Structure formats: C-alpha cells, structure tokens
Chains A and B, each alone.
Chain A
Amino acid sequence: MELFTNQILAGIATGAIYACMALAVVMIYQAIDHLNFAQGEMAMFSTFVSWQLMQWGVPYWGAFLLTLVFSFAGGIAIERLLFKPLAKAPILTNVAGFIALFAIINSVAGLIWDFTIKQYPTPFGSAPFLGSQLISTHQAGMIGVTVLLLIALYVFFRFTRIGLAMRAAASVPESARLVGINTSWMIALGWGMAAAIGSIAGMLIAPVVFLEPNMMGGVLIYGFAAAVLGGLTSPFGAVVGGFLVGIFENLAGTYIPGIGNELKLPIALALIITVLVVKPAGLFGRPIIKRV
C-alpha cells in the first residue's frame, strides 16, 4: 500500500509537468483549431531566453516576467507573420508549417546556446516537501503554479470582456464578426497566450528535465496525451488529464511487468489512441456535433 501511495504522489509530481504543457496545447487548439507541433520548441526557446536573462544578472522573477512578455509578443509575431497568411489554407499546409517552425526554432536555439545540458534554477528550492521524499518543494510549487494558472484562465475566460470575445471568435467566428469582434486579432491573442503559458511550463519543467534544445520532445507528447485525455476543448480537463497521465504512467511502470522505463512512452501513445477511439471528446471535452 505504501508503494502504491508513493507511486501516486510521484505520478502527481510528474503529472504537473504534463498538465502545464497540456494547458498550452489546449489554449492554442481553442484559438486556432490546430495542434501546434512546434509548441514544445517555442516553450524551450522561451526558457532559454529566461536562462540567458539570468546569466546577465536579472533576478529570477524579473527574468520570469520579462520572458512572459517576450513569449507573448513572440507568439503574436509568429501568428501575424507566418500563420495568418495560411488561415485559409488546408490543414495539411498548416501542419507542414508547424514542422518547418519546429525545425527553425530547434536549430536556432542549438546555434545560440549549443546542445550541452544546462542546470536551471528553481525559485522553490528542492528540499523534501512536508517531509515526503517523493515530492520536492519545487514539484509542489509547480503544482501550485499550474492550479493558479488554471484559476486565472478560468476567471479570464468567464468574467472578462476580452475572454468572452475570444470564446466567441473560436466557437462561431461569423457571428462574432457580426457583433464587432476582431476575430483575426483574437487568434493572434490566442497564440500569444499559448506561447506565454508554454514558457511558464518550460521554466517550471527545466529544473527537472534540464535545459537543452531537445528537452521538450517527450514532454510535448505527454502534453498531447494529457490534452486528449482531458478533452481538447477544456482547460480544466487538460490539467486533470495531465495529472492522470502522470499517475497512470507511474502505476503502469510499477505494476505491469515488462514495462519499466523503456515502454513508458508507448504507454502514453497507447493512451492517446485508446481515448481517441473510445471517447474522442475526452473526459471533460464538449463533443463536436455536426449538422448534416
């Protein structure tokens, strides 16, 4: 039983990483109806920017805020420059665009900061949390930030004018335009917010997985799995999905023989496929109903 609770705790700790990433995935999906395959690389780049700022002597929280601003502006810039012209293009072209973006960001980051693994500081310290060896204060802090972020997003979408406008633009663009919402800029705003959330995820993950240009590869897939499990239309679902994927991954690794660490990734992928087949809308997502 002790092993079981320990594994669940460890699962929640890793789940927090996935939850953060899933939140960014869902944000962009809400805004543009596509999965951004370059999301992880964008987050990685932002994390490097914050690292660079800290190297220049900016204190942690200062670098954190500056990076948020940078990522937000960067996300908007990418949308305006590269993806707005593709808005009417087939999905296929968009996916190719994401892949191109992925290659560019990865390579540029590698050139500027090279591929060696770097330490990344944490503001929460890494002492055991409440006497438990399994969750460190950093991981607890990560969970805390994820939950805060979720609440902030909820408030933003539920109670602010611009949040309402973004939701309208995403669900019924035509009608939204008729009532005077600039849907095109709402999409750009979505990109900016997704990039900012991604950068938060990156900065929280970096102390755990270490900083390097390829740090997001695995995390992004788990983020996708979490987002799909929770439902691509629900930020709340994405966070719950993240924790569930973390727990599931740890339990499967412990109790199913022959899985171990090697097969953890296929487990996440099997989960994606199973959820997509059994319940495509995810646990908390809104099923898409088509009028024929």
Chain B
Amino acid sequence: MSAAQEVANEIAVEAVPKRAMTLGAGTSLLVLALLIVVPLFVKNFIIFQMTMLLIYGLAVLALNILTGGSGQFSLGQSAFYAVGAYTSAILMEHVGMNYALTLPIAGLICFAFGFLFGQPALRLSGVYLALATFALATAMPQLLKLGYVEKWTGGVQGLVVTKPDAPFGLPMSQDMWLYYFTLAVTIAIYVFSVNLLRSRSGRAFMAIRDNEIAASAMGIDVALYKTLAFGVSAAVTGIAGGLGAIAVQFVAPDGYTITLAISLFLGMVVGGVGWLPGSIVGSAFIIFVPNIAEGVSKGLSGAVFGIILFLVIFLVPHGARQVALLAQHLLGQFKKR
C-alpha cells in the first residue's frame, strides 16, 4: 500500500464557468417584472408563499456562494439560519428595534459566526466537512433550548414576532408589504452576490474550488478566502433567517432542525450548483415538491420525494441550469429556421 496517494482526483464540485453563473439581462428583467406584478393579483396566502420562496431562495443562494463559488460543503446552513432568525426576533421583541434594522445586525452576527466556524472547517474537506457541518446543524436546536439562554430565546416555546405594518400609510396588506420588502432585500443581495463572484474575491473563490494548490501558488491566501466564503454565506443565510422569522412571526428551536439544512442542500443541487438564478428554482422545489409528493400518496410522501430527487440526479445532474441551457439551445435552433 503506497503511503502517498496521488493528489485528489475526486472533484467535490464541478467547475462552472463564471459567465454561466447568471442569467442574461433580458431574462433577468422578465423574471423581475413577474415577481413585481404577480402579487397584485393573488390571494394573501399565495403572497405569503411567494415571500417564503424568496427567503428560501436567499438561503439557497448563500449555500451556492459557498459550494458553487468556493467548493466547500455545508449541511449546516440551518444553524446560521437559526442564528439569524433568533437575532432578529430577540432584537425586535426584547430590545424593541425596527425590523428592518435587525437584518443587517443578524447578517453581521452570522458573518462572525460563519467566519469563526470556517476556521476549524479549513482543515476539513469533502465528507469530513459535510460531517462537521451536519453535526453543527443537529446540535443547534438543542443549544437554543439551553437553560442559560432561555431568558432570551424563550426556550422550547420560542418567541412570537409581531408582523410589521406597511409604512407611510401605504394601502397594502401586511403580507404584501412584507413581500415587497423581501423582494427588495433579495434583489440587493442577488446583485451583491453576482458582483462578488465577478470580483477579485470571487475569482479567488473559484480558483480555490478548481485547484487549491494552484490557487495558493498564484498567491491567493487560501485560508482567508475559504473562511471568508463561509462568513459571507452565513451572513446571507442569517439575513434570510431574519426575514423568515418576520414572515412566519414565530421562532422556535424545532423549526431549525437538520431537515431544514438538508432541504437547503437539496435546493442547491436541484437548482444547479453554482448557478445563482437556480436558487429560486431550488427554493420552489423544497417548498412545493413535498406538497406534491403528499398529493401523490399520503403514506409514501417521503418515498415519492426521494424518487423525484433520484430522477433529478439521474436525468438532469446539473439541475435547473441544464434545463435552462437546453431551453436556450432549442430556442436558438427555433430562431434559425
């Protein structure tokens, strides 16, 4: 048995070219227009679901920055989501802060948390990192129930959050206002993420993803950028968590179990790793497919969900990105005729 193995041929994440990470300008505007107009014509419950779609979309986007960008795994996003949610809830209910102001604070705290967690995670890769983050996500609900912090977190019962009214006397329902607020935050973060991945730091992330040794030979501070990716990802997840707490009006430890982390992970795989617009597709998958599965068969909903997931893996291993590219290709052929 040779003591030294060849340098890992196994690729954690397939390389995605930088340009393939976003949508064209025309398509982006179309999607945006749809997101703005549709809520005007639907019921409050559907608006609420659309809000959750955006919020989970943000959380999946955050994971996409980490995995698709810097090639690191995480099965522990629910922990950051929980920290963000609790930060917002505690600031709103105990400190009486405005809901909009709590979000940047949630982001900052999660950034610090993610950056610190990134330090030990530096020494791990592949399965080991998946395992460590998995452990983090499993431990989080129990940590939130701890007696020491119960005064703030409300223990097992959790906290109830008041839903904000539309400001300036705008004639809007609370749900609709929250939707547009979430949409604004989502767009801001999406633009930020796209620009981040196109920047010097983004190129550093991708260099690390594709070949760590070559990246460090080019003078990239691998440790710094890897932890930075964790921090940014955690910050975005935290903001999503804060928004989620406001939208659901409730935080409790059992809302942030490993199931949430796994959902977010699946959302990323389905949406296409490294393809940022896919995040919203992935988010739709994790919100609606369990319902569809339940509709197909009540007792076997888990099995139906698993089978759909296997179908996605086998038929479109690159997720929604592959479907989008295929559609583009077909459209191109159609135009030529």
- For the complex, what is the distance from the CA of A92 to the CA of B123, rounded to whole Å? 19
Interface residues of B in 107-122 (CB under 8 A from A): 120
Q: Tell me which residues across on chain A come within 8 A of B132, comparing CB atoms.
A: 272-273, 276
Which residue of the partner chain, among B3, B123, B269, contacts A277 with CB atoms under 8 Å?
B123
Check A100 against B306 for contact (C-beta < 8 Å). Answer: yes
In the complex, 19 of the A-B residue pairs with CB atoms within 8 angstroms, ordered by the A residue number, are A82-B310, A90-B12, A91-B130, A92-B73, A96-B265, A99-B262, A104-B303, A110-B299, A172-B2, A221-B135, A263-B142, A269-B136, A269-B139, A273-B135, A273-B136, A276-B131, A290-B4, A290-B6, A292-B7
Check A290 against B5 for contact (C-beta < 8 Å). Answer: yes
Tell yes or no: B295 within 8 A of A by CB.
Answer: no
Tell yes or no: B302 within 8 A of A by CB.
Answer: yes
Q: Tell me which residues across on chain B come within 8 A of A268, comparing CB atoms.
A: 135
Tell yes or no: B127 within 8 A of A by CB.
Answer: yes
Tell yes or no: B301 within 8 A of A by CB.
Answer: yes
Q: Tell me which residues across on chain B come within 8 A of A35, comparing CB atoms.
A: 127, 130-131
Interface residues of A in 75-103 (CB under 8 A from B): 82, 85-86, 89-93, 95-97, 99-103
- New A-B pairs, 4, CB < 8 Å, besides A107-B305, A171-B1: A35-B127, A96-B265, A172-B2, A221-B138
Residue of B nearest to A290 (CB): B7
Residue of B nearest to A81 (CB): B310
Indicate whether A269 sits within 8 Å of B135 (C-beta atoms), given known contacts A111-B300, A262-B142, A280-B128: yes
**Chain B, 8-42, contact with A by CB distance < 8 Å: what is the 0/1 string?**
10111110000000000000000000000000000
Check A99 against B266 for contact (C-beta < 8 Å). Answer: yes
Q: Tell me which residues across on chain A come within 8 A of B130, comparing CB atoms.
A: 35, 91, 95
- For the complex, what is the distance from the CA of A89 to the CA of B313, rounded to whole Å? 10
Q: Tell me which residues across on chain B come within 8 A of A269, comparing CB atoms.
A: 135-136, 138-139
Total interface residues in chain A, CB < 8 Å: 50
**Chain A, 104-120, contact with B by CB distance < 8 Å: what is the 0/1 string?**
10111011000000000
- Looking at the assembled complex, report how far the CB atom of B222 sits from the nearest CB atom of chain A, in whole angstroms: 13
- Looking at the assembled complex, report how far the CB atom of A77 sits from the nearest CB atom of chain B, in whole angstroms: 15
Check A100 against B12 for contact (C-beta < 8 Å). Answer: no
Tell yes or no: A265 within 8 A of B by CB.
Answer: yes
Residue of B nearest to A289 (CB): B4
Q: Tell me which residues across on chain A come within 8 A of B126, comparing CB atoms.
A: 91
Q: Tell me which residues across on chain A come within 8 A of B75, comparing CB atoms.
A: 95
Q: Tell me which residues across on chain B come within 8 A of A131, comparing CB atoms.
A: none
Indicate whether A265 sits within 8 Å of B139 (C-beta atoms), given known contacts A100-B310, A107-B306: yes
Q: Tell me which residues across on chain A come within 8 A of B4, comparing CB atoms.
A: 289-291
Q: Tell me which residues across on chain A come within 8 A of B145, comparing CB atoms.
A: 262
- A-B residue pairs, 7 tightest by C-beta: A107-B302, A104-B306, A269-B135, A103-B306, A100-B309, A100-B306, A107-B303
Check A99 against B142 for contact (C-beta < 8 Å). Answer: no
**B residues engaging A (CB < 8 A)?**
1-8, 10-14, 67, 73, 75, 120, 123-124, 126-128, 130-132, 135-136, 138-139, 142-143, 145-148, 213, 262, 265-266, 269, 273, 299-307, 309-310, 313-314, 317
Check A107 against B14 for contact (C-beta < 8 Å). Answer: no
Indicate whether A104 sits within 8 Å of B138 (C-beta atoms), given known contacts A35-B127, A292-B213: no
- Looking at the assembled complex, report how far the CB atom of A56 sits from the nearest CB atom of chain B, in whole angstroms: 23
Which residue, B67, B135, B143, B299, has most C-beta atoms of chain A within 10 A?
Answer: B135
Check B11 against A90 for contact (C-beta < 8 Å). Answer: yes
Which residue, A92, A221, A270, has most C-beta atoms of chain B within 10 A?
Answer: A92
Tell yes or no: A130 within 8 A of B by CB.
Answer: no
Q: Tell me which residues across on chain B come within 8 A of A288, comparing CB atoms.
A: 5
Residue of A nearest to B1 (CB): A171
Check A172 against B1 for contact (C-beta < 8 Å). Answer: yes
Q: Tell me which residues across on chain B come within 8 A of A273, comparing CB atoms.
A: 120, 132, 135-136
Which residue, A101, A103, A266, A277, has most C-beta atoms of chain B within 10 A?
Answer: A103
Interface residues of A in 1-45 (CB under 8 A from B): 29, 33-35
Interface residues of A in 247-280 (CB under 8 A from B): 258, 262-263, 265-266, 268-270, 272-273, 276-277, 280
Residue of B nearest to A106 (CB): B302
Q: Tell me which residues across on chain B come within 8 A of A33, comparing CB atoms.
A: 10, 127
Tell yes or no: A72 within 8 A of B by CB.
Answer: no
Q: Tell me which residues across on chain A come within 8 A of B7, comparing CB atoms.
A: 290-292
Check B5 against A289 for contact (C-beta < 8 Å). Answer: yes
Check B142 against A266 for contact (C-beta < 8 Å). Answer: yes
Q: Tell me which residues across on chain A come within 8 A of B310, comparing CB atoms.
A: 82, 97, 100
- Looking at the assembled complex, report how far the CB atom of A233 sits from the nearest CB atom of chain B, in whole angstroms: 11
- For the complex, what is the distance from the CA of A112 to the CA of B240, rounded to whole Å? 38
- For the complex, what is the distance from the CA of A104 to the CA of B299, rounded to whole Å? 11
Q: Tell me which residues across on chain B come within 8 A of A228, comparing CB atoms.
A: 131
Q: Tell me which residues across on chain B come within 8 A of A108, comparing CB atoms.
A: 300, 302-303
- Looking at the assembled complex, report how far the CB atom of B211 sits from the nearest CB atom of chain A, in whole angstroms: 11
- Looking at the assembled complex, report how far the CB atom of A279 sits from the nearest CB atom of chain B, in whole angstroms: 10
